[in-house]
Amino acid sequence: MTTIDQLDSPQLLIDLDVLDANLERMRSTFAGRPLAIRIHFKSLKCGGLARYLSGKGMTKFLCAKLNEAEVLADAGVSDIFIANQVIGPDKLRRLCELAKRAQVRVCVDDAGNVEEMGRAARAAGVTVGVLVEVDVGMARCGVEPGTPALELARHVQRQEGLRFVGLQGYDGHLQLMSDTAEQRRGCLEALEKLVGTRRLLEANGIPVEVVTGAGTGTSAIVGRYDGVTEIQPGSFLLMDCAYHAVRPEFACSLSVLCTVISRRPGHYVLDAGSKAISQDFGKPMIKGRPEEKVQRLAEEHAKVEDGGTGPKVGERREVVPAHCCATMNLHRQCIAHRGGRVEAFWSIEASGRYD
């Protein structure tokens, strides 16, 4: 049995015991509620991990990009939501091909895109599920709540080849908010816009099957709000030191195995830098060693201050990144282990892709 101590470095690791505990914690939080937990694949990007989670009963996934949806379908996932706009003839053709082998849903916020998608679906002989995206305060994509969403939903209903499914309202601007009272206030404002829009559509005779939103940071609030049918967290499975600071109940299963390659008075240097460890949400941390501080990352090096009492050349450290999603995107393979014993080598098929 191979152990992680026998692996070369740098190497991306996923601790399955920690991941399993995070999954159970999320599930138990909503036990007994009529709520679906749809796993966000943009954090994972790995077909092997999707299959592992499917084996544990997590069969609903969403993603940010069409290529991620294709990887999910290749992994045997049949319930896929692309929580984004799919624009242009090439991508719409791929979307319709995907709809031939999985139940596919997608977001819209533009009438012209709806018409183009309807034509593509009819030409391919498929039906694509559609959710109208509602801007609940993030000011990124989405139509305004209320009447604009109602009008776009009616437009979807008029297109053969499309099926109106419901509404999405993502509160990404609230995910990493450390002030819990302010986060709750923002969540409730966003939810009233989203669920209020649901009530408007239903009052106008439009059934709303799905109302979806939230992420790891707001799941505890959104998942208990009446009128929401599903949440879409992803980072809670892997976590990182930035997210862990605001949702400490979820532990970090993701780390980068590194080797000390140089030693100087007061600091040491690891064999991985910004090409292997994302720092876009802040500096990474040394797992289990809060006294050792990452000072800076170069492309292939991490300089760690330790006061001169840390490891020798050749010793190992695990680095917890500051952004799990971006770190997964930097690697082509991850190692799943349990108690330090390697269980699987998984390709990260959607890493480094933006299509």
Residues 257 and 341 both lie in one domain: yes
How far apart are the C-alpha atoms of 53 and 55, rounded to whole Å? 5
How far apart are the C-alpha atoms of 317 and 68, rounded to whole Å? 31
- Is pLDDT at 198 greater than 90 in this prediction? yes
Task: Identify whether 18 is part of a domain.
Answer: no
User: What does the pLDDT look like over 339-348, one tens digit per residue?
Assistant: 999 999 999 9
Residues 6+ positions from 301 with CB-CB distance below 8 Å: 261, 269, 270, 271, 272, 273
pLDDT score at 237: 98
Residues 258 and 226 both lie in one domain: no
- Is pLDDT at 219 greater than 90 in this prediction? yes
pLDDT score at 257: 98
Task: Identify whether 25 is part of a domain.
Answer: no
Query: Residue 316: pLDDT band by 50, 70, 90 thresholds?
Result: very high
Query: Residue 145: pLDDT band by 50, 70, 90 thresholds?
Result: very high
- Is pLDDT at 254 greater than 90 in this prediction? yes
Residues 74 and 186 both lie in one domain: yes
Query: Residue 289: pLDDT band by 50, 70, 90 thresholds?
Result: very high
Residues 216 and 292 both lie in one domain: no
pLDDT score at 164: 98
Residues 229 and 263 both lie in one domain: no
Of the three residues 235, 256, 282, the one that is the final residue of a domain is: 235
Query: What percent of the chain has pLDDT above 90?
Result: 98
Instruction: Tell me the residue range of the domain where 273 lies.
Output: 4-9+248-347
- Is pLDDT at 165 greater than 90 in this prediction? yes
Residues 142 and 118 both lie in one domain: yes
Whether the bond between 311 and the residue before it is cis, its omega within 30 degrees of 0, is no
pLDDT score at 173: 96
Residues 254 and 298 both lie in one domain: yes
Of the candidates 353, 334, 351, the one whose C-alpha atom is nearest the C-alpha of residue 49 is 334
Helix (H), strand (E) at residue 26? helix 16-29
Task: Identify whether 285 is part of a domain.
Answer: yes
How far apart are the C-alpha atoms of 12 and 52, rounded to whole Å? 17
Task: Identify whether 19 is part of a domain.
Answer: no
Residues 180 and 313 both lie in one domain: no
Residues 97 and 221 both lie in one domain: yes
Task: Identify whether 73 is part of a domain.
Answer: yes
> How many C-beta atoms surround the C-beta of residue 31 within 10 A?
7
Q: Which pair of tokens denotes residue 139?
A: 């000011």
Helix (H), strand (E) at residue 37? strand 36-37
- Is pLDDT at 1 greater than 90 in this prediction? no
Residues 83 and 127 both lie in one domain: yes
What's the structural domain count of the chain? Answer: 2
Task: Identify whether 137 is part of a domain.
Answer: yes
pLDDT score at 300: 98
Mean predicted lDDT score pLDDT of the chain? 97
- Is pLDDT at 110 greater than 90 in this prediction? yes
Q: Specify the range with the lowest mean pLDDT, choosing from 151-160, 162-171, 303-312, 319-328.
A: 303-312
Query: Residue 308: pLDDT band by 50, 70, 90 thresholds?
Result: confident
